[in-house]
Structure 1
Amino acid sequence: MHTIFEAIIIGIVEGLTEFLPVSSTGHMILAQSLLNTENDQVMKTFDFVIQLGAIMAVVIIYWKRILSLFGLVKRKSESRTGKKLNLLHILIGILPAGVIGLKFSHVVDEKLFNTTTVLVGLVLGGILLIIAEKKKAQSSTMVLDDLTYRQAFFIGLWQLVSIWPGFSRSGSTIAGGMLSGVSRAASADFTFIMAIPIMFGASGVYFLKNYDALSSTDLPFFAVGFIVAFIVALLAVVSFIKFVQNMKLTYFAYYRFAVAIVFGLYMFLK
Structure 2
Amino acid sequence: MELFELIKAFILGVVEGLTEFAPISSTGHQILVDDMWLHSSEVLGSKESANTFKIVIQLGSIFAAAWIFRHRFIEMLSVKNAKSEHRLKLSHVFIGLLPAGIAGLLFDDFIDEHLFSVPTVLVGLALGAVLMIVADLYARKVKNPISVDGITHKQALIIGLTQVLALWPGFSRSGSTISAGVLTKMSHKGASDFTFIMAVPIMAAASAKSLLSNYQYITSDTIWFYIVGFIAAFIFGLLSIRLFLELIGRIKLIPFAIYRLVLVAIIAILYFGFGIGRHI
Q: One fold, TM greater than 0.5?
A: yes
Is contact 1:19–1:237 with CA below 8 Å preserved after alignment? Answer: yes
Structure-2 separation of matches of 1:235 and 1:250: 21
Deviation at residue 57 of structure 1 after TM alignment: 1.5
Are the structure 2 counterparts of residues 258 and 153 from structure 1 closer, same or farther at C-alpha, using a change threshold of 3 Å? Answer: same
Q: Aligned residue for 1:98? A: 101
Are the structure 2 counterparts of residues 82 and 96 from structure 1 closer, same or farther at C-alpha, using a change threshold of 3 Å? Answer: closer
Q: Aligned residue for 1:125? A: 128
Task: Please point out which of 234, 252, 270 is paired with 2:238.
Answer: 234
Deviation at residue 205 of structure 1 after TM alignment: 1.0
Q: Compare 86-95 and 212-221 and name the one that shifted more.
A: 212-221
Q: For 1:21-100, what aligned pairs fall within 5 Å after superposition?
A: 21-32=23-34, 33-38=36-41, 40-71=47-78, 83-100=86-103
Q: For 1:61-210, what aligned pairs fall within 5 Å after superposition?
A: 61-71=68-78, 83-136=86-139, 138=142, 141-210=145-214
Are the structure 2 counterparts of residues 56 and 113 from structure 1 closer, same or farther at C-alpha, using a change threshold of 3 Å? Answer: same
Residue type of the alignment partner of 1:185:
K
Structure-1 separation of matches of 2:220 and 2:104: 29
Show structure 2 runs of 5+ residues with no match. 275-280
Deviation at residue 37 of structure 1 after TM alignment: 3.7
Residue by residue over 1:142-194, the C-alpha shift from the partner in whole angstroms, topping out at 9 and shown as x without a partner, is 11111001101110111111111111100000001111121211100000101
Are the structure 2 counterparts of residues 89 and 130 from structure 1 closer, same or farther at C-alpha, using a change threshold of 3 Å? Answer: same
Q: Compare 194-203 and 228-237 and name the one that shifted more.
A: 228-237
Structure-2 separation of matches of 1:245 and 1:57: 21
Structure-2 separation of matches of 1:140 and 1:100: 33
Deviation at residue 103 of structure 1 after TM alignment: 1.9
Task: Please point out which of 248, 257, 262 is paired with 2:261.
Answer: 257
Are the structure 2 counterparts of residues 139 and 27 from structure 1 closer, same or farther at C-alpha, using a change threshold of 3 Å? Answer: farther
Deviation at residue 42 of structure 1 after TM alignment: 1.7
Structure-1 separation of matches of 2:267 and 2:89: 42
In the alignment of these two chains, the number of paired residues is 265
Structure 1 runs of 4+ aligned residues shifted over 6 Å read: none
Q: For 1:210-229, what aligned pairs fall within 5 Å after superposition?
A: 210-229=214-233
Is contact 1:29–1:113 with CA below 8 Å preserved after alignment? Answer: no
Is contact 2:57–2:230 with CA below 8 Å preserved after alignment? Answer: yes
Structure-1 separation of matches of 2:192 and 2:57: 21
Deviation at residue 140 of structure 1 after TM alignment: 6.3
What percentage of aligned pairs have identical amino acids?
Answer: 43
Structure-2 separation of matches of 1:26 and 1:269: 17
Q: Aligned residue for 2:7? A: 5
Structure-1 separation of matches of 2:234 and 2:161: 28
What is the TM-score normalised by the length of structure 1?
0.90
Residue by residue over 1:195-245, the C-alpha shift from the partner in whole angstroms, topping out at 9 and shown as x without a partner, is 100111110111122234443433222211111100111223212222223
Partner of 2:169, secondary structure, is coil
Q: State the superposition RMSD in angstroms.
A: 2.3
